[in-house]
Amino acid sequence: MSFKSHIAVKDLNVSYGKAQALKNVNVEIPDKKITVIIGPSGCGKTTLLKSFNRLIDLADDVSFSGEILVDGVNILEPNAELTAIRKKMGLLSQRPTPLPMSIYDNIAYGPRIHGTKKKKELDKIVEFHLKEVGLWEEVETRLDEPASKLSVGQQQRLCLARGLAVEPEIILGDEPTSALDPISSKRIEEKFLVLKDKYTIVIVTHILRQARRLADYVIFLYFGEVIEQGPAAQIFENPTQELTREYMKGIIS
């Protein structure tokens, strides 16, 4: 198996207090592909995802060891530049979380902080990214309205656009469709399939069918340990581990 890896995790251990959430995790995330992390609830999927942009730092009593190399730089270093690491990765959370401001300002928030001040440039960025997620036609005339007035499905696309507006290289999705209706979920999934040409995408999900639809590469986590990882076809058709086979059949969940 050979691919260009974008994120490489080496011997990652994460604990919350005394509870160990990840045990000796070694994974490689391929560049410009969709990697799906699957596994039962509470097995450390979200923890692994949030290690990538160091959001695990916010949790109480968290401690970690090991290495996560993004473009060859270890982001777990104590003096790592967190804002630069996080800017590289757009995050889609489980529930769409618009910021308490207008639709326009939601998208412009990131670029403004990173130095784009001119109204014309911001207008362009907002329009471009709203079109990129297929939301432009729906909100074109009401950019000044509160983002919270959009439907949940629209909000999630807005969140995607907001993440893309800071020009990340990686998109992280933490069960990004779990709060959405089937049609909105489908739209988000379609976006991922288009976006993977430009971005490395990592998605956490517990929906196996979604994983089958999206994944190029799969990581199966079980109680904090990586049981199996590999190209989607191999994991879904010919898993080498008994646990993976049982999970695929729905014996364990």
DSSP state of 102: B
Question: In terms of Cα–Cα distance, which of 183, 196, 178 is closest to 46?
Answer: 178
53 binds another protein (CB under 8 A): yes
114 binds another protein (CB under 8 A): yes
d(CA 233, CA 216): 8
Q: Contact region for another protein (CB under 8 A) — 144-152, 195-203, 208-216, 227-235? A: 144-152
If you count them, how many residues does the chain have? 253
Question: How big is the CA angle at 156 (ends 38 and 143), to the nearest 5 degrees?
Answer: 165
Nearest CB to another protein, comparing residues 111 and 224: 111
Nearest CB to another protein, comparing residues 148 and 234: 148
Amino acid identity of 98? P
152 binds another protein (CB under 8 A): no
Q: What is the smallest separation between the CB atom of 40 and another protein, expressed in angstroms?
A: 23
Q: Which two tokens stand for residue 196?
A: 């993977």
99 binds another protein (CB under 8 A): yes
Give the pairing type, strands 170-174 and 225-231.
Answer: unpaired
Question: In terms of Cα–Cα distance, which of 48, 3, 40, 32 is closest to 231?
Answer: 3
What does the per-residue mask of binding to another protein show for 75-94, with x meaning CB under 8 A? -------xxx-xxxxxx-x-
Nearest CB to another protein, comparing residues 11 and 57: 57
How many residues at the interface with another protein, by CB under 8 A?
Answer: 35
Contact predicate 177/188, CB 8 Å: yes
Footprint on this chain of another protein (rule: CB under 8 A): 53, 55, 58-61, 82-84, 86-91, 93, 95, 97-102, 109-110, 113-114, 146-148, 159, 162-163, 166, 172
